[in-house]
Amino acid sequence: MSRDLAGFPRPVLTALAAAERLLTRRAGATVVLADPEDLGGSERSVVARARVARNPFSLPRTLVVKQYVGEPDANRPDPFHFEVASCQLFTALPADARPSPVLIAHDPAARLLVLEDLGRSSTLADMLFAPDPVAAQRCLLSWARALGRMQAATAGRENDFGALLRRLGEKARRDPVADEARAAFAGVPELVAEVLGVTVSAAAETEARETARLLGGTRYRAFSPSDTCPDNNLVTSRGVRFVDFEWGCFRDVALDAAYFRVPFPACESSFALPDGMADAMLEAWRNEIATVWPDLDDPALLRARLLDAQLLWVWLCTWWLLPRAVAGESRIGIDPGRSPRISAALADYWRRLAGAAADGGRPATVELADRMAGALQQRFDDPADNGTGRLPVYPAFRSLV
């Protein structure tokens, strides 16, 4: 590795040194990485780009290295294993169907992945906060198409994913949201009664619990990254590509397609879409999955499933976010320029749900959603919506409003 490394965080240097050792073992000759670039990562991992300075075999010019730091929780599935299995699943797909970087190598002992470098791409979040509405619209449609392509390409491959996980030592492959959602069904009535003074009727609770059918073995299952927030999607010359598969799983496709409606539930950058955008994204997504699930071309069936998913996400977001608002956290994320107030986001989620539930024949949910939206505004006296009862659209679209 290049020795001009003053100022680089030690975890980045540790990850690159481990990558050099892994690639050298594979090549049987020395591989040298240089010019590291810290790409951030998270509290669980470090991510860096590096140039391949000495290349004894056919490696790309640059690589991305991701290393999980610390020891895995012995009582929970290891996110490193899920990321490796996800990348292995995608790397085996044809190039035109591959939704992610290629996995070049991995080392379970070092909890390390070496990945294809997709370049210095903007994220979908970057585009939504830039001033170009046309580019932002194009990226949202590209994201919807990429989501549909990924789901279509991975339909029927759940057993393959399970086999990859078992090879890495994991037995469970459940959707990480499933247990959280069931906890929300049980806990939200008491939570909103205590915090907002809202009573959840038995009928509204039943309508919510019925959405749990999406969490089981439906016939519309495909791979999901579980976290498809805008900052986890790269805008490349080949369209939008997904990154970060720490919680990758198989689940009903409606749970991710509902991101068009909420939109992007509980994500740091969860602002509103302009009128008509969600419908356009839904159509782009449906065009990609139609050959695999032609019955989802039935508008009534699709609307019902998307309403189930939207209702589930709103209850789950309330379970996640309302305690944070009560504790004094004002925004979903830490960046005030890129994150809405929690209370404003929740009020908007419930208000949108009221409209969708009215169209979908869920009267108890309509009544609850109206009361929740009003109670959130009153409890937190939130000025963020300027009296409109709606979150603002993403900055890219504000010049059009």
311 within domain boundaries: yes
Tell me the pairing of strands 249-252 and 32-38. unpaired
Using an 8 Å Cβ cutoff, are 15 and 65 in contact?
yes
Whether 299 shows a pLDDT value over 60: the answer reads yes
Q: Are residues 313 and 286 in the same domain?
A: yes
User: With DSSP H G I counted as helix, E B as strand and the rest as coil, what are the percentages for the chain, rounded to 5?
Assistant: 50, 15, 35
**What is the predicted pLDDT for the residue at 183?**
96
158 within domain boundaries: yes
d(CA 256, CA 243): 15
Counted domains in the chain: 2
Q: Which amino acid is at 380?
A: F
**pLDDT tens digits for range 6-56:** 566 788 899 999 999 999 998 888 999 999 999 977 778 999 999 999 876
Residues of the chain with pLDDT > 90: what percent? 77
d(CA 68, CA 134): 37
355 within domain boundaries: yes
Instruction: Name the residue among 150, 196, 170 with its Cα closest to residue 323.
Output: 196
Q: Are residues 231 and 103 in the same domain?
A: no
Q: Which amino acid is at 89?
A: L
Average pLDDT over residues 243-257: 94
**What is the predicted pLDDT for the residue at 370?**
97
**What is the predicted pLDDT for the residue at 238?**
84
Segment holding 300, helix H or strand E: helix 299-326
Whether 173 shows a pLDDT value over 90: the answer reads no
Whether 4 shows a pLDDT value over 80: the answer reads no
Q: Which two tokens stand for residue 367?
A: 């009544």
Per-residue confidence band for 290, with pLDDT thresholds at 50, 70 and 90: very high
Q: Is the N-terminal amide bond of 263 cis, ω within 30° of 0? A: yes
3 within domain boundaries: no
Per-residue confidence band for 303, with pLDDT thresholds at 50, 70 and 90: very high
Whether 357 shows a pLDDT value over 70: the answer reads yes
Residues of the chain with pLDDT > 70: what percent? 95
Q: Are residues 101 and 141 in the same domain?
A: no
Q: Are residues 76 and 222 in the same domain?
A: no
**What is the predicted pLDDT for the residue at 240?**
92
Assign residue 51 the CATH number of its domain.
3.30.200.20
**What is the predicted pLDDT for the residue at 230?**
95
Q: Where is the domain boundary, 80, 101, 116? A: 116
Q: Where is the domain boundary, 98, 116, 134? A: 116
**pLDDT tens digits for range 53-77:** 987 677 889 999 999 998 888 778 8
Q: Where is the domain boundary, 68, 89, 116? A: 116
Assign residue 143 the CATH number of its domain.
3.90.1200.10
Instruction: Please give the mean pLDDT across all residues of the chain.
Output: 92
Q: Are residues 149 and 235 in the same domain?
A: yes
Q: Which two tokens stand for residue 281?
A: 């994204």
Q: Which two tokens stand for residue 40?
A: 């951030």
Task: Provide the 10 A C-beta neighbour count for residue 318.
Answer: 24
Q: Are residues 108 and 132 in the same domain?
A: no
d(CA 359, CA 357): 5
**What is the predicted pLDDT for the residue at 2?**
46
Q: Whats the size of the chain, residue-wise?
A: 401
Per-residue confidence band for 309, with pLDDT thresholds at 50, 70 and 90: very high
Q: Are residues 291 and 360 in the same domain?
A: yes
**Alpha carbon distances (Å) from 386 to 31, 191, 380:** 58, 27, 14
**What is the predicted pLDDT for the residue at 401?**
66
**What is the predicted pLDDT for the residue at 29?**
86
Whether 141 shows a pLDDT value over 90: the answer reads yes
1 within domain boundaries: no
**Alpha carbon distances (Å) from 70 to 22, 43, 45, 248:** 19, 10, 9, 20
Q: Are residues 148 and 263 in the same domain?
A: yes
Average pLDDT over residues 182-195: 97
75 within domain boundaries: yes
5 within domain boundaries: no
d(CA 74, CA 170): 11
Q: Which two tokens stand for residue 139?
A: 């990226």
Q: Are residues 362 and 213 in the same domain?
A: yes
Q: Are residues 30 and 165 in the same domain?
A: no
Average pLDDT over residues 278-290: 97
d(CA 249, CA 237): 27
**What is the predicted pLDDT for the residue at 73?**
82
Q: Are residues 64 and 176 in the same domain?
A: no
Whether 181 shows a pLDDT value over 70: the answer reads yes
Question: The domain containing residue 320 runs over which residues?
Answer: 122-400
Q: Are residues 212 and 149 in the same domain?
A: yes
**What is the predicted pLDDT for the residue at 325?**
96
**What is the predicted pLDDT for the residue at 1?**
47
Of the CA atoms within 13 Å of residue 78, those in its CB half-sphere come to: 21
97 within domain boundaries: yes
